[in-house]
Structure 1
Amino acid sequence: MFKPLAAALAAGAFAVSGISAQQIQLVNADAAPTITAPKAGISMDLSAIDKTVNPCDDFYAYACGNWKKNNPIPADKTRYGRFDELGERNRYTLYTLLEQAANNPKTPLQVKYGNYYAACMNQPLADQLGAKPLQPGLARIAAVTDKKQIAKLNGEMESADGVGFFYGFGSGQDQQDSTKVIPQLGQGGLALPDRDYYLKDEARSKDIRGKYVDHVQKMFVLLGDTPEQAKTEADAVMKIETALAEGQMPRVEMRDPAKRYHLMTLTQLQQLTPDFQWNDYFAALHRPVTSLNVSSPKFVQALNAEIDAASLDELKSYMRWHLLNAGANALSQPFIDENFAFNGKVLTGQQVLAPLWRRCTMQTDAALGEAVGQDWVNANFPPAAKQNMSVLVADLEKALGQDIQGLDWMSDATKAQAQVKLAAFRNKIGYPETWRDYSKLDVKRDDRFGNARRTAVFSQNRTLDKIGKPVDEKEWSMSPPTVNAYYNPGMNDINFPAGILQPPFYDFKIDPAVNFGAIGVVIGHEMTHGFDDQGSKYDAQGNVKSWWTAEDRAKFEQRTDCEAKEFDAFEPVPGVHLNGKLTLGENTADNGGLHVAYAALHTELAKTPGAESRKIDGYTQDQRYFLGYAQVWCENTRPEAAEVAAKTDPHSPGRFRVNGEVQNFDKFGEAWGCKKGDPMFPVNSCRVW
């Protein structure tokens, strides 16, 4: 994946009724703020360049220095960069579609997504309801009288309300037979971003834990508990979540497909967890399961141990919290404000809550992305753009094939298998061939919380319905307006939503050097994911299967270790280092993408006599290529958010995605006239592909 996804609406809610027609009519009367359209993007921003910086010392500061000075982080954001500029433009165009659909729909789909958006925008109605939408779920939890009933309750709430506790259950491709979709059980149950927040002893983690317990207590008080009750419950939540965190597999280990693949019969799973009644859970979920993949057996054992050790009251407090936490952003303003006070201000440093129209636009996209996405594509992504992108992808595939063939460290046998895998890539550009069917999703204009609940159930059922059926190779995991791209190792496909195929990433009006440096590297990046430390363990059919000689695999790991150690040394904030193993896949993909797109550019330039020597705006073609790459990563990030990302995000910050990669590519040093030994042109560098 090229960039981490923005957080979607937390799922889990209940239907509300008894809303008057007068209240419904208030939605659009009060919900249409005056919003200024964002400025159009540009693919080469000469004003962003800080010429007081030597590009051979710090290329990121050179390419982005003035942009960083002139683009402070808005108060309602934790970071702001070129990704966000484009994201804001896409979000604005989505917003205009949603406003139109909410007020004057023309099609049944517009009625559906317009009603979802209108219900989300009706904050006065949510304020009137307060915590009432939670009451049915809270009553179900209160009715539990025995720990043995918890499994059944979990299944009932997932099936009816889209809210689960303790773990994640879904479906996925079988790693050993990618044509099969099987049940999958994964670790979960935490409200903080990562297990390390519960387990590390440094001052920042301790401070966050203390503030988290205070936050949970405040939320329980808003729910109607006394401060004393709320404190007891908050302590129970922390105790149980800490026990679950201790049982979780760390993120770096989860990157290894072999470590998260453990096929078990239901009987074997039950033997691991005698205190959790799995038969009752699956019966309540209406999903007969006889075998499944358990990604982390140690975690389910820790879950069983905590269910045995905790009191029933403690477990009920934990479940009440996760029900409340899942739906907080669709409740009344006091819940939203307190939720933001911790998850926004404390965790990420965000200063103010994003405006309601922006939150509702994002939530509607998350819920009905391929409904509103159809209209968005028609308005914003012409067929010519898709065709031009197809040509670029073909150019990059050819360049990667030549790159593989020219590797001096890989044997012919492994090269042949790598070429087989590359030839099997499926390319998905812009939007799905077949749009998702939302006919079974009930959306009501007067039921924000219920819409979120029904969306969660719809998504859960859609996921579980795949079990035992052929894999849908045409399915997408991102909506068309998304500013991102991804590689799916089980599908062996690369996916480029229409949202990223715009400036600064792609502009068919600008010279090829800039486009190849921006979208070209994105394409090469996603292709290289098929050959990074994770993707390289999958074969051309998407199965986890070795296609390497043992000697080549050892050479590959030696090269990836070089990158991991290099990125371990980078500090996004003082005293906080990146995790080179966690970010290894993305760094490897950047490394490969930068090399491959450069080669593809020069193949393109060679078609026109004199093109390679042409200067534009005083920069050579190679210099414009590297500027095109660097400038998509211009960004400012709050220290708190940077620290969270360092612990949880497999992507490195923009500064290190630029400097860390150009210093590993000698063509950069040559393009900018650097001397060997300069920071951006070191004597020793890392290269994998």
Structure 2
Amino acid sequence: MIRRPLVCALALCLIAGLATPDADAQRRKRSSGKARTPAVAPACTDFHAFANADWLKANTLLPGADSISALEQLAERARQQQVDLLNAAMQAPQNDVQKLLGDFWASGLDEAAVERDGARPIAPLLSRIDAIKRAKDVAPAVAALHQVGIPVLFNFGADLDLQELDRHIGYFSQGGLGLVDPAWYTRTDADTRAVMTRYDAYVQKILALTGSKPERLAAEARQVLDLETRIARASKPLPELRDPRRNYARVAVKDLAKPYRNLQLVEFLKAQGVKDDTVSLADAAHFAQLDKLVGSIKPEQWKLYLRWRVGDAMAPYLAKAFREASFDFRGRVLQGLQAPPPRARQVLDAINLAAGPMLGREYVARYLPTATRERAETVARQVREQLLAAVARDPRFGEAAKAEARAKLAKLAIEIGAPRRDLDYSVQPMGRGSFGGNMLIASTWRHREEMRRIGRGNAERRWNVLPQEPSLAYDLAHNRLIVTAAILQPPVFDAAREPAAQYGAFGALVGHELSHAVDARGRLVNAKGDAAPWWTPAEIAAWEALAARVAGQYEGRPYPGLSSVRVSGANVREMGAADFAGLELAWAAFTAAQPNPPQAARQAFFRAWAGLWPQQLSAETAAQRAAGSVYPPGVWRTNVPLMQQPAFGEAFGCKPGTPMQPNPTQAVRLWP
């Protein structure tokens, strides 16, 4: 603190005392006016708080809740739309698919009927298991359960052929356990033993509900756990399953017969309706061990294991005793939940699991107007054109890389609403009397349709997300942008708002995703769809230097809701770079479509971006995300990309050097 000498202080007091009353009044007026005018406008200090003030005030986090955000509210709205659709289908179905869905929905909501139904829905499956007499009967029973959507002993599913990306093949992989992680069965620490004790009790409850006598429960549960432990010991640790390339190995179907006589894998494929001549079976040692287990373990033990797996898989869809047993372990013990979701939510989740594509078909017809689809496609195509232009002028790319990027972007498909595919909706009539029975009917249908996509020319016809689930993503394997019907509503896409807002929200998200076609991830797949990197070492180095600068924009910023915790630039740099790119491309598309937009439109563009990211997090959730999330928290996901945009500063009058508009030399631009 600087202390004035006493003489100077007295002189200042005398000068002040000699001021005329009018001059003094004018001085107070000017001083008062300065106090009311902040040095920096709120929009230029923290745009996230400025633009989302009303949302943040109206959406406080309730006790016990983990998070709330604008995008979570969009997802909840999509769920309510599905409920409304199902209610309408239940009351007045307009076609055969709606009749199936309406009956499925009605049977699930009728808890009295579910209670009366008891264990009857799984009785045919239990009878099939009980018919096992010899070792050779085990494999056909396993195949029959896979057919109804209950994978036992191992997993089998359709996915991309990593050598031919235009086809799907069947993947044989480890599975068949009641606990996802095989390590649970072999660890000996106190926490694991406590969980396994609870698991043993759960197995006993399901065995009792599926026919075991009370005096035999403990011994029979031990046999189930013994068999699962043997499967677990033959399984790989979960971290080894994360790399798809290490879990892919093409095998001719004809070569499966001799090594796996007990598993009868050739017959298994025929039972699933798979006619392809090739599958992936990467862990031959695991399946050889399973084959030995089928041949060496007594049929009675297999019957216990299979009965337990059926009861466990179907427990959420059966009578109250089954549901409570399942939730006590899987909900309370494994997930830490205090209460199950409301009944309607449980039934909706079940329908999406078993009949999701049916519901998606009707959702698109009801909630995606043709005008909205066409407008979204127009904006997406305009953003793609701007990406082509940006790549052409990018000094980081050499001519060969630019040519490859142009070829890739020219082929890039934009798919809006729902996937292009033909499904066979012929299904056994469901009726309203048995929710568990309907679940099995629908699961059998969906498994059948999944198996039908195995083979050449099918891969691009399927999405890995349902149309009724909000999603906007770049599909690297097929070089396409996927935009579901459910995502095309506020705050992502508002057909009623001005075009500027559509570009600022939807267009920027499109730009974010399309940038992945030509970034450090996109460089791994070329324009032909081959897994062939197409950057030079110099281009990789240039990208790394840029990514490091992006990381620096986020590094060390305070994590909202946490003291002494900072954002990790290394964690968020890839998503941050895509956000930078998305905003730049969307702004270029907007100003190309509407040159010299008025200030109100320019401000609407940036407000729309901010409107995507308001959120409230509990301290626990914030800590979890700060530790490992690749996405910045909402405040920085809004502000940091905007800070890089001179057009933002111009729209809101933010001068260089203010928090929301750093000096130009400090800003990072993805596309020069």
Matched, 1:239 2:216: no
CA distance in 2 between counterparts of 1:145 and 1:118 reads 39
Matched, 1:125 2:113: yes
| TM-score, normalised with respect to structure 1 | 0.74
- Name the SS for the 2:611 alignment partner: helix
| CA distance 1:455–1:240, change in 2 (3 Å) | farther
Which of the residues 564, 573, 587 maps onto 1:601? 587
| CA distance 1:260–1:410, change in 2 (3 Å) | farther
CA distance in 2 between counterparts of 1:131 and 1:212 reads 21
- Name the SS for the 2:644 alignment partner: helix
Amino acid at match of 1:542: G
Amino acid at match of 2:152: F
- The question of whether the paired residues in 1 share the 8 Å contact of 2:473 and 2:481 is answered with yes
Matched, 1:420 2:407: yes
Matched, 1:189 2:166: no
CA distance in 2 between counterparts of 1:646 and 1:199 reads 32
Q: Which of the pair has the greater relative contact order for Cα pairs under 8 Å at 6+ separation?
A: 1
| CA distance 1:412–1:297, change in 2 (3 Å) | farther
Deviations 1:52-78 (A, max 9, x none): x99999987887798578546679986
| TM-score, normalised with respect to structure 2 | 0.75
Question: How many Å apart are 1:601 and its aligned residue?
Answer: 1.5
- The question of whether the paired residues in 1 share the 8 Å contact of 2:143 and 2:268 is answered with yes
Which has the higher mean CA deviation after the structures are superposed, 72-81 or 312-321? 72-81
Deviations 1:538-588 (A, max 9, x none): 3334333333445545665787799999999999999xx99x99x98x973
| CA distance 1:350–1:238, change in 2 (3 Å) | same
Q: What does residue 667 of structure 1 align with?
A: 644
- The question of whether the paired residues in 2 share the 8 Å contact of 1:249 and 1:299 is answered with no
Q: What does residue 36 of structure 2 align with?
A: none
Deviations 1:227-249 (A, max 9, x none): 52465256436624643653555
CA distance in 1 between counterparts of 2:489 and 2:300 reads 53
Which of the residues 600, 603, 610 maps onto 1:627? 610
| Higher relative helix content | 2
- The question of whether the paired residues in 2 share the 8 Å contact of 1:591 and 1:688 is answered with yes
Question: How many Å apart are 1:196 and its aligned residue?
Answer: 7.0
- Give the 5 Å matches for 1:168-207: 168-192=155-179
CA distance in 1 between counterparts of 2:351 and 2:561 reads 34
- Name the SS for the 1:353 alignment partner: coil
- Name the SS for the 1:164 alignment partner: coil
- Give the 5 Å matches for 1:556-595: 588=574, 591-595=577-581
Q: What does residue 101 of structure 1 align with?
A: 89
Whichever of the two has the greater Rg, that structure is 2
- Give the 5 Å matches for 1:127-276: 127-159=115-147, 161-192=148-179, 211-225=198-212, 226=214, 227-229=217-219, 231-233=221-223, 235-236=225-226, 239-240=229-230, 242-243=232-233, 246-248=236-238, 250=240, 252-254=242-244, 258-266=245-253, 276=263
Matched, 1:116 2:104: yes
Deviations 1:520-540 (A, max 9, x none): 233223323434665543333
CA distance in 1 between counterparts of 2:555 and 2:209 reads 44
Q: What does residue 398 of structure 2 align with?
A: 411
- Name the SS for the 1:189 alignment partner: coil
CA distance in 1 between counterparts of 2:417 and 2:590 reads 23
| CA distance 1:131–1:570, change in 2 (3 Å) | farther
- Give the 5 Å matches for 1:395-410: 395-410=382-397
Question: How many Å apart are 1:430 and its aligned residue?
Answer: 1.9
Matched, 1:489 2:476: yes
- The question of whether the paired residues in 2 share the 8 Å contact of 1:537 and 1:546 is answered with yes
CA distance in 2 between counterparts of 1:377 and 1:410 reads 40
CA distance in 2 between counterparts of 1:491 and 1:630 reads 29
Question: How many Å apart are 1:484 and its aligned residue?
Answer: 1.6
CA distance in 2 between counterparts of 1:71 and 1:190 reads 41
Question: How many Å apart are 1:304 and its aligned residue?
Answer: 5.3
Question: How many Å apart are 1:100 and its aligned residue?
Answer: 2.5
| CA distance 1:517–1:294, change in 2 (3 Å) | farther
Gaps of 5+ in 2: 1-40
Gaps of 5+ in 1: 1-52
- The question of whether the paired residues in 2 share the 8 Å contact of 1:168 and 1:186 is answered with yes
Question: How many Å apart are 1:655 and its aligned residue?
Answer: 5.0
Deviations 1:350-403 (A, max 9, x none): 433222223323433444445444544444322221121012101221222233
Amino acid at match of 1:182: I
CA distance in 2 between counterparts of 1:310 and 1:214 reads 23
Deviations 1:483-512 (A, max 9, x none): 123333333222211111001111133355
Deviations 1:423-444 (A, max 9, x none): 1111111235666431245423
**RMSD across aligned positions (CA):** 5.0
| CA distance 1:131–1:524, change in 2 (3 Å) | same
- Give the 5 Å matches for 1:623-662: 624=607, 626-631=609-614, 634-636=615-617, 639=620, 652=629, 656=633, 659=636
